[in-house]
Amino acid sequence: MDNCIFCKIANGEIPSATLYEDDDFRVILDLGPATKGHALLLPKTHAANLYELPDDLAEKAILVAKKAAAGLRDGLGSDGLNLVQNNGEAAGQTVFHFHMHLIPRWKGDHAGVGWKPGTLTDETRDEILRKVHI
């Protein structure tokens, strides 16, 4: 992908504050952090989103995320961490190269990663169970 900024960052063509790198991934600091240490995990090959991510990279990504989560916690002394991954504009994705957000959390930080809980009605539950086949 010639015009993908995260392809260029992941492959080192554009410099970034890199916390971790291996053959397949780079973990960098987000330029618009939700909290101190907010990092992004990027595969070095282009996939627009989770739907496009090859299975082998999907498997590896969670292991790198696990390593990065521990490194952030141990290095920054955070109390928790949100793993966030947006797919599609409707879900808040703004850069269309798969990435995972690793957002260190501290008690009372008010970073606002979350949602307002709705209600699962019996009708909606039944409809979803009928329609979704994973």
Among residues 27, 28, 38, 97, which is the contact residue for Zn ion, using CB under 5 A? Answer: 97
- The answer to whether the beta carbons of residues 86 and 93 sit under 8 Å apart is yes
Closest CA relative to residue 34, chosen from 98, 71, 86: 86
Which is catalytic among the residues 97, 99, 101, 133? 99
Q: Which residues, 69 to 128, sit near ligand 5GP by CB under 6 A?
A: 86, 92-95
Task: Tell the smallest beta-carbon distance from residue 15 to ligand 5GP (Å).
Answer: 10
Q: What angle do CA 59, 64, 68 make, to 5 degrees?
A: 150
Edge-first strand order for the sheet with 39-43 is 18-21, 25-29, 39-43, 100-105, 80-84
* Secondary structure percentages of the chain, helix, strand, coil, to 5: 30, 20, 50
Asked if 99 is part of the footprint of Zn ion (rule: CB under 5 A), the reply reads no
Among residues 46, 60, 67, 105, which is the contact residue for Zn ion, using CB under 5 A? Answer: 46
Which of Zn ion, ligand 5GP, none does residue 78 bind to, with CB < 5 to 8 Å depending on kind? none
Task: Tell the smallest beta-carbon distance from residue 19 to ligand 5GP (Å).
Answer: 11
* Residues within the interface to ligand 5GP (CB under 6 A): 5, 16, 28-32, 40, 86, 92-95
